[in-house]
Chain A
């Protein structure tokens, strides 16, 4: 028996057959139930876990159709349009689904109809029924009002005027019904009867392409899975070629025999269709996930889906050209690293127009960075744009700290001058020579209205007594206001 807390009272949320035989009912207080039968076993409801279980089941149902939607707390919609023949017809498919769920230990009702509303009603009020097209009205007429998926208040008020079955509602004139009970009632009715289309939104985007293989004997070893991946990728290649596309995101779905589904996705930085490369990417991903994938008793269905595609340019390599090849090599390398170590494993700097050093270079993951293109023949490479006003570009360090590190500066020679020595990471450095300052003001155009203006920075190149070169800055100025905080010093980078 499952209890849940409702209005500060523990009530029965769900109960099994034996508890029902004891005349316990849903919604009854736990205290009352215990008074009747002190020996009952009560478990606290856990909606989160229920949800997870339902999602797991939805994942498992992916084997039947890519369009699986979750319906409220306890239902799943499977859009099996065009899928039934793969399982030997509607009846055979429904039987298989029910058998498989039963073997997994679930008590499942199923209904199959041409509209979601009718299927819903068939599942809930008949248990195992297939409604042929056009029979929806006959199915619904004898059923109580709750078969129409309407709010309990609407149902109560309908019952209060004597409309107790769906058939009665269907027979009643429509205009007064809509006026009195709202448009939802008629909408639900029309949807159930197929007069209006109802869209079931699948929980996962439907892959444009997928190939799968049902296995008579479950596989457990990573090597076997990889071999299957390359076989599936070969099948995928012809489809991709026909469409003139290459895969950008691929997902491998491993359906474990006991219902758990592992979903493994890899991204590529350029469209890909070569089975060998796809297999290598999955090899890295599977190696990285080795600990996290529990093969259990094995996987009996392996599916390879292409989640997103991009146009595949058929580039003809020039006879001497190694460059195109090199780029492809690097893209593959980056993809493999990404498959194993995550999105940000290979980074690429992108120069941005900004005066602030930390903003002037943005690091982006390799896949998102603009692709380097070899200048095409006949078209000259774009001229390198130098900043027009700067004769000598300002000196910039070779390494920049991710965030400037505060340093202690006991004294400067002149108030706005470079420090004489400074303490950084608890070590004292004596300044031998200094160049600067280079003043970099905050970018006022990024400032939000009402925000206080960020203090300017005065950057100094410093060489310490041992010849190491640093890039320091002072944030703020001395004596701008008597009560203002004194300027602070930061270490921002090191020079070669």
Chain B
């Protein structure tokens, strides 16, 4: 049994009773005890007011402080309070070409973390392969977009995955880093459930987030409580005094799917990063229409409509390139014929 030592009004015995009741209610309602506290549609004020949120099987409580609030109420509520701060979190990109969006989303989370932990450095560990395929972190871009100073950034290029895991494990147990990012490509066998469990345990003990970026990775078993699948979303136009500037590329936008979460219901969110205020904003369906048809010849409006119509993982890529899921379908008729 895991009880966070926290100054709370409720005594331990009373809390036990609450847990037992909560489990019973959950059983009657046929849902998880965690969801009772923060159902997806509930008013978010309730969460903020109550000073405890259920994190582990309804048995332990953690203060709201244990979560990183993205500022998007719907997203935080879906994750049951936000992204756990002292944990391993997986952020997936479906293809390596999404590496920019995945890195951008992870760095915006880091930027939110850095608001509380001013000046602490971050460490970005990657294999030589991924840095070659997806590019090295560029300090000037990081500074402009996420407010991460160049001297705050350390990165480590490991020749082999085993070395990258070792560096990440060593770094995850340190409290001197605000966050550790481990980036790998594909689904290597080395990074299995045991390896992620080790990373998660160390991050939990150190109380620091460890973001595992997996480019072009499968949804393998993982010990991380949360897995998010991130891809790029068409950005909105730049705002000017005279209204949106047609054809311009505005703030970075991400499409975030919750791939795994103990508490969350599946959902898709389109988040926009505000580099000036270092905060997220959610884009609702209405604002998608702001994206104008460009002179490039394609019309983005049907594309985004199609994305909304399909479940997250099975959505076909709207470009010319078939996505990975489509390949077998393309091949099989050719073989038959």
Contacts and interface: CB of A to CB of B under 8 A. Distances in A.
Task: Note whether A and B form a binding pair.
Answer: yes
A216 to B, nearest CB: 37
Contacts, number: 200
Contacts of B211: none
Given A326-B176, A333-B170, A350-B150, A398 B107 contact: yes
Interface in A413-435: 413, 420, 427-435
Interface stretch (A191-199, A222-230, A464-472): A464-472
B300 A329 contact: no
A363 B98 CA distance: 24
Interface of B is mostly: mixed
Contact of A466 (B154, B170, B171, B318): B318
B144 interface: yes
Contacts of B150: 349-351, 361
Contacts of B137: 349, 398-399
Nearest to B104: A496
Nearest to A366: B154
Interface string B43-75: 000000000000000000000000000000000
A207 interface: no
Interface in B289-315: 294-298, 300, 303
Nearest to B303: A465
A269 B296 CA distance: 52
Interface of A is mostly: mixed
A341 B158 contact: yes
B1 to A, nearest CB: 32
A396 B141 contact: yes
B249 interface: yes
B160 to A, nearest CB: 9
A493 B141 contact: yes
B134 interface: yes
Contacts of B188: none
B159 interface: yes
B101 interface: yes
Contacts of B101: 467-468, 496
Interface string B159-184: 10001001100110011110000000
A64 interface: no
B136 A466 contact: no
Interface residues of A, number: 61
Contact of A430 (B176, B232, B320): B320
Nearest to A361: B139
Contact of B321 (A340, A427, A461, A467): A427
B179 to A, nearest CB: 13
Contact of A333 (B135, B158, B174): B174
B19 interface: no
A326 B252 contact: no
Contacts of A349: 137, 139, 150, 153, 155
B131 interface: yes
A496 B154 contact: no
Given A463-B234, A465-B319, A345 B167 contact: yes
Nearest to A426: B321
Interface residues of B, number: 70
A477 to B, nearest CB: 22
A366 B151 CA distance: 10
Contacts of B136: 363, 399-402
Nearest to A330: B176
B334 interface: no
A164 interface: no
Contacts of A347: 154-157
B234 A393 contact: no
Contacts of A488: none
A42 interface: no
A399 B102 CA distance: 11
Contacts of B155: 346-349, 363
B144 A393 contact: yes
B219 to A, nearest CB: 21
A154 B156 CA distance: 61
A496 B138 contact: no
Interface in A99-155: none
A313 B304 CA distance: 60
Contacts of B144: 393, 395-396
Nearest to A373: B151
Nearest to B317: A466
A399 B167 contact: no
A341 B167 CA distance: 10
A395 B143 CA distance: 10
A413 B120 CA distance: 47
B233 interface: yes
A484 B119 CA distance: 51
Interface string A78-109: 00000000000000000000000000000000
Given A329-B174, A337-B156, A435 B248 contact: yes
A467 B156 contact: no
A377 to B, nearest CB: 15
B280 interface: no
Given A351-B150, A363-B136, A463-B234, A433 B296 contact: yes
Contacts of B171: 333
A495 interface: yes
Interface in B97-118: 97-101, 103-105, 107-108
Interface string A426-462: 0111111111000000000000000000000000010
Query: What 3 pairs between A and B have smallest CB-CB spacing?
Result: A496-B104, A494-B100, A399-B135
Interface of B: 97-101, 103-105, 107-108, 119-121, 131-132, 134-142, 144-145, 150-159, 163, 166-167, 170-171, 174-177, 231-235, 247-249, 252-255, 273, 294-298, 300, 303, 317-321
17 contacts: A323-B119, A330-B121, A347-B157, A349-B155, A363-B155, A395-B144, A398-B142, A399-B100, A399-B103, A399-B138, A427-B321, A432-B296, A465-B318, A469-B100, A494-B100, A494-B134, A496-B104
